[in-house]
Amino acid sequence: QLQLQESGPRLVKPLETLSLICSVSGGSISTTGYYWGWIRQPPGKGLEWIGNIYYSGSTYYNPSLKSRVTISEDPSKNEFYLRLNSVTAADTAVYFCARFRSGDLDAFDIWGQGTMVTVSS
Amino acid sequence: AIQMTQTPSSVSASVGDRLTITCRASQDIRSNVGWYQQKPGKAPKLLIYAASTLQSGVPSRFSGGGSGTDFTLTIDSLQPEDFATYYCLQDYNYPFTFGPGTKVDV
């Protein structure tokens, strides 16, 4: 059964870079028809889509974050990554990675448990 | 970007109630809407995709409808485990956008 697990620093200083890893087990990130995404949720607030990556390397970002965000992948490790530059307190959130299946079945069907990242000095 | 609105933002309900949540898109998104349930401290869970298709393993008391700009999530006979926050998501085009959520409590 496919599982996703986020990992990375829980505390990041303002203006530094937030870096997270999503480790995928039970399936390959190189499988056609699936994208891999990041979604975040500030404390007590709603969900915000950050971006998706396809195994080919194509990426799609939220314009509100586009200048600061990079999503990449390493198929050899079956991992994908999130980097968010120049963070502020507004970037404090739970960060989820998730699988997005495309085509007629479009949906984020499998999610990681999420990891809380706090931006603070 | 496509804006998604949800009504109500919160609702108090009882076990056994029938509940409908509405999501409206700022433009035609065909049937490209999913519904997600989130409980405190947990990741969202997919309930409905393509506006009306029940995800495998989700109880049949959940149903979705609509197309174009107006969509609904209906829960027939609310169960104790259904008290949660529900989000719609448009995946018609990028950037994907979530609705602000509907909190269902007792």
CB contact under 8 A, A104 and B97: no
* pLDDT in single tens digits along all 121 residues of chain A: 999 999 999 999 999 999 999 999 999 999 999 999 999 999 999 999 999 999 889 999 999 998 999 999 999 999 999 999 999 999 999 999 999 999 888 999 999 999 999 999 9
Q: Please write down the HEC assignment for all residues of A87-115.
A: CCHHHCEEEEEEEEECHHHCEEEEECCCE
Question: Omega before B44 cis (within 30°)?
Answer: no
State percent of chain B over pLDDT 90: 99
The angle formed by the CA atoms of residues A117, B23 and B79, to the nearest 5 degrees, is 80
- How would residue B62 be classed by pLDDT, with cut points 50, 70 and 90? very high
Q: Nearest CA of chain B to the CA of A56: how many Å?
A: 18
Q: Which two tokens stand for residue A22?
A: 């999503």
Which residues from B are below 8 Å from A39, CB to CB? 44
Which residues from A are below 8 Å from B32, CB to CB? 106
For residues B75-91, average pLDDT: 96
Mean pLDDT of chain A: 96
Cα B102 to Cα B13: distance, rounded to the nearest angstrom: 12
Burial-class residue B53 by CB neighbours within 10 Å (0-12, 13-18, 19+): middle
Cα A35 to Cα A57: distance, rounded to the nearest angstrom: 10
Q: Which two tokens stand for residue B43?
A: 């990741």
CB contact under 8 A, A47 and B98: yes
Q: What is the pLDDT of residue B49?
A: 97
Residues of B with CB under 8 A from a CB of A: 1, 32, 34, 36, 38, 42-46, 49-50, 53, 55, 87, 89, 91, 94-101
CB contact under 8 A, A62 and B100: no
